Structure 1
């Protein structure tokens, strides 16, 4: 639960203009009464969302337009928060992207963008805002990893490896921050029913029917509950995923790669 009633206590959500990030922003305002610092590279959508959330839930919702793949993005977000007297009590590192190509067919710029988003900026945001949280001896850090982080996934190698970094980084940070009163958790969801995966409508409905995919509002509700009401380092949501992960982890890589290539036909 929210541990501070200070007027300038904020939750910072990256990738807040759509999908899972928008759900984090909505539920943090609605259910936990946090003011919001919303970061995204979609300016118009972000401004409209901030206005809607502010009016609907009677909280401050400040939009900050920024491409988080830029080298100094984390420092600029941090400086903006400090200059505007925002005490960031909750940090949600959600911004990300998916590359679904063999490595040699992937443009170098896309690889650089993904690594900046998932690794560099995420790490620096944890460092900058985490230092303040530790000094206050109060705070929460939620990093969005992926179910793929638990296994080898040819075909999405950069995404998979970067999410493994997020997972292991968060687990290590849990030990560093815990003595300072700051909670850290990595969320490792499987398929989520958002446009992020660019799946066909027919395949998305099929995944939902068999409960292999999860609605974003359900994922976020469960993730925030674990962040605020448990002391877990990681959270793998969905009963099916507890079965799927160990099975895939023991499959030969050639078979996993064949399945991943087959999945491409279900993408738009």
Structure 2
């Protein structure tokens, strides 16, 4: 637990990628539930704005850490900074991530290596650093944000889909390992979400998205938060997303891959 300036005792949640989208909505929910926050993002102006807003609106303590998570030293630097500030993390939310769209032999290698660092390596590194303290204190929660993409291969976003499959597998495995320790692991697997992600990846005009209504980031965050609080391992927002995730196991992998390719292509 951590002491605020008002002398109140609150738990603290660390959220990566908290300047927008699902990460920001999760930060709002944790703040409304009286958590202190550690917000990590590379968008410094937005972090400062959010910190001031939350401190004024909710009376909580907010620490902003500006980091580019594609740099390999970032997780250790975050951990060390919090240790020096005597801030204990009770809830770790690994939300940061991004994708790249296109044929693998044509996409930019440097960008994909950064994606692997953010989506996969940083998530693993932060989990390793913080889970030990959680086990020692006998309580803690970890929320890893994957995607409905985790359940099948993804032509035209091959590396992104693969990183999300890793997050799902990794989260399930350590959730099992941590049973009985007081620490729970939840993996959130949303489908297409209104968050600006698809515009950044360049797939906004794909058959999967063009003209389709997506779930909003706030709804996804609320579903993820409540699943985390209940200690659920896997949560897939939306009935259709649940159905698709379960159905792929009954279809030959080659056919699943062709279907995903067709959906991912631009009209």
Regarding TM over 0.5, the answer is yes
Deviations 1:133-160 (A, max 9, x none): 0000110000000101011211111000
What is the CA–CA distance in structure 1 between the aligned matches of 2:262 and 2:210, rounded to whole Å?
Answer: 23
More helix by share: 1
> CA-to-partner distance for each residue in 1:184-209, whole Å, 9 max, x for gaps?
01111101111111136xx969422x
Residue of structure 1 equivalent to 2:239 = 239
Cα distance in 1 for partners of 2:12, 2:99 equals 28
The Cα offsets for residues 93-148 of structure 1, whole Å up to 9 and x where unpaired, read as 00000111111111111111110011111001101110010000110000000101
Change (3 A) 1:228 1:165: same
Aligned-residue CA RMSD (Å): 1.9
Give the SS at the match of 1:103.
Answer: coil
Residue 109 of structure 1 corresponds to which residue in structure 2? 110
* Partner of residue 257, structure 2: 253
Q: Deviations over 1:212-247 (max 9, x none)?
A: x21111111111111112x32111110111222345
Counterparts of residues 81-160 of structure 1 (less than 5 Å): 81-160=82-161
Distance in structure 2 (CA, Å) of the matches to 1:181 and 1:170: 16
Q: TM-score, normalised by structure 1?
A: 0.89
Query: Following the alignment from structure 2 to structure 1, what is the Cα–Cα distance between the partners of residues 10 and 48?
Result: 20
1:207 aligns with 2:208: no
Q: How many residues align?
A: 253
CA positional deviation for 1:76 = 0.5
* 1:4 positional shift: 8.6
Deviations 1:68-90 (A, max 9, x none): 11111110111111111111000
In structure 1, the partner of 2:176 is: 175
For normalisation by structure 2, the TM-score amounts to 0.89
Unaligned runs of 5+ in 2: none
Q: Distance in 2 between matches of 1:101 and 1:48?
A: 34
Q: Distance in 2 between matches of 1:174 and 1:191?
A: 25
Distance in 2 (alpha carbons) for counterparts of 1:47 and 1:115: 27
Query: CA 1:70–1:4 in structure 2 vs 1: closer, same or farther (change >3 Å)?
Result: closer
